[in-house]
Amino acid sequence: MKIVVLDGYTLNPGDNPWTEVEKLGDTTVYDRTPADKILERAKDAEVVLTNKTPLTRETFDKLPQLKFVGVLATGYNVVDTDAARAKGIPVSNVPIYGTDSVAEYVFALVTNHFRRPVYHAELVRKGGWQKSGEFSFWETPLAELSGKTIGIVGFGRIGRRVGEIAAAFKMNVLAYDVYHGNPPSYAFEWAEIDALAAKSDVVTLHCNQTPENTGMVNKALISRMKPTALFVNTARGGLVNEADLAEALNAGKIAAAAIDVVSTEPIRDDNPLLGAPNAMITPHIAWAAKEARIRLMQTTAENIRAYQSGSPINVVNAAK
């Protein structure tokens, strides 16, 4: 069986070998694949693994050997799953691997905003503490998380883990989701999204991007947020109208934004958030802790083994 990995670099930049996948077939790994090379590289493959390299209906029409697609992520919008289903090709993702990685990263962003350790460490390096003459020196307001309210938009695995950590910090937890499911063990309240935005000191996104919610964080929703609020996005860049968010930051309508994802990645030079004040932008790394990437690799191998056995798992395009 021939396995082709179209864009393997982010999963394994050198510290997370493909050994378990390589045991399952003749494996070729490309760090990156431009659109005009997809057909050439995948033409003889029975299994194709992709992270962000798109697989369209036209691509499926031209790959008659292809029998299985593994997505090296949870999100699978880069694959035309309907076209794959029409050809009898199961598409499997990795639904559980980054829960702790992303949730922990959210609180790295949140605690950095409220306590400002990085900012003050840099001040010390520049001589600010020495010049102050004070035994305890700070330049920005410092605040506790205890008693503050966090609003979590998308209350699935990651959102609930964020809520669990927030509860440990003694924060009040509000949650919005289309699907409620069983409540978690810690105290929280369901809220409609407008009320959540209005009541929260931190608003954090943990939902999938769909046609219905694309651009949902827009001028109208932001206008409901507190002027002291922190907005966090580690989910999908397309959930945010970036021009509206930049305008709000420029006008001081919210205090700050901590953003790990943007609408086009890598970020474009003309993204309005690059010039906005109090916008911390990191390069899509919330998911990327080594432990999470190892889990992702292990589950990818399990997905291929399940396909080989005739009973694929984690299939996202099963017959409706």
What residues act catalytically? 236, 265, 284
- Which residues, 6+ apart, have CB-to-CB distance to 6 below 8 Å? 30, 33, 38, 41, 42, 48, 49, 50, 51, 53
Which of 156, 194, 157, 200 is closest to 178 using CA atoms?
156
How many other C-beta atoms are found inside a 10 Å radius of the C-beta of residue 232? 27
First to last CA, the chain: 29
What are the counts of helices (DSSP H) followed by strands (DSSP E) for the chain? Answer: 12, 12
Structure tokens at 130: 């020495």
Q: Is the peptide bond before 266 cis (omega within 30 degrees of 0)?
A: yes
Structure tokens at 317: 């395009």
Structure tokens at 255: 């205090």
SS3 4: strand
Structure tokens at 123: 């001040």
CA distance 18 to 28: 10
Structure tokens at 64: 């008659």
Which of 100, 157, 156, 90 is closest to 314 using CA atoms?
90
CB neighbour class for 98 (10 Å; exposed up to 12, middle 13-18, buried from 19): buried
Which of 284, 288, 247 is closest to 267 using CA atoms?
284
